[in-house]
Amino acid sequence: MTSFWNPPKKTSARRNRQVLVLAAACLLGLIGLAPQPAVAIPGSLQIFEATAGAGNTLLVPSPASDFTLDIDLDTNTAEGGVIEGIALFRFSVTGDLTFDTSPSSFSCELTGCVVGGATSSTLIELNSPFETFSSGITDVITVDISGTLGQVTIEGQYLDADLTVRDVVPFALAQVPEPGTSLLVGSGLALLAVQGRRRRSA
């Protein structure tokens, strides 16, 4: 008589399942123990255009033609009043604005900074991971911009006095054109449109 009960096979299958469960648990444990990347948190560092001052956006009349921006940072506004390294500063433009990164129109003023995207007219990236900033206002870059409409913005990361990774809160360093100019242009266009309608209806 054929027996449908085969303990060795069942025992072997159970053992295989136990091994698989144990292996999966070990794998999950190793994943949990693996070092996780540091999560950056918002910082208080002020980066700004020198003539506008901290917390302000420089208003540039349109059209801007080789208009020079002088970008500074205030180390005293960083947590602990110290920056232990700049992981990345990314300067970018919107609208039709462009950077002029030729040697006569662009300079990086941080010791040992590495500039990326220098051939790009819309993006400048730099880092200075081994430089410590401990007091006062520090020059970052000077660069010329051209265009009729858009913003120059900053974002990035740095290490504070406790070596905590901090995010540079995205900020508009400069805006072209001035808001008042945009309003005047818009009002002028609206007035022309109204006059055109009156002429057609007359």
Cα–Cα distance measured from residue 72 to residue 82, given in angstroms and rounded to the nearest whole number: 15
With 70 as the cut, is the pLDDT of residue 109 above it?
yes
With 80 as the cut, is the pLDDT of residue 111 above it?
no
Q: Is residue 78 part of a domain?
A: yes
Tell me the residue range of the domain where 129 lies: 41-184
Q: Is residue 12 part of a domain?
A: no
Give the chain's domain count. Answer: 1
Please give the span between the terminal C-alpha atoms of the chain, in angstroms, as a whole number.
110
With 60 as the cut, is the pLDDT of residue 99 above it?
yes
DSSP, residue by residue, 153-200? EEEEEEE-TT--EEEEEEEEEEEES-HHHHHHHHHHHHHHHHHHHHHH
The mean per-residue pLDDT over the stretch 21-43 comes to 56
β partners of residue 198? none
pLDDT score at 21:
46
Three-state secondary-structure class, residue 152: strand
83: confidence class by pLDDT, cuts 50, 70, 90:
very high
Q: What pLDDT, in 10s, does the model give residues 112-135?
A: 777 765 557 899 888 888 889 988
Q: Is residue 53 part of a domain?
A: yes
Q: From residue 40, give the alpha-carbon distance in Å to each of 81, 131, 160, 168, 198.
A: 18, 19, 11, 10, 58
Residues in CB range of 8: below 8 A, 6 or more apart: none
Q: Is residue 173 part of a domain?
A: yes
Pair 160, 166: CB distance under 8 Å: yes
pLDDT score at 32:
47
Pair 177, 60: CB distance under 8 Å: yes
pLDDT score at 116:
63
Q: Is residue 150 part of a domain?
A: yes
Q: Is residue 189 part of a domain?
A: no
Q: Is residue 25 part of a domain?
A: no
Tell me the CATH number at 91.
Answer: 2.60.40.2550
Token pair of 49 as six digits: 């255009």
Lowest average pLDDT, out of 29-33, 81-85, 155-159, 173-177, goes to 29-33
Q: Is residue 105 part of a domain?
A: yes
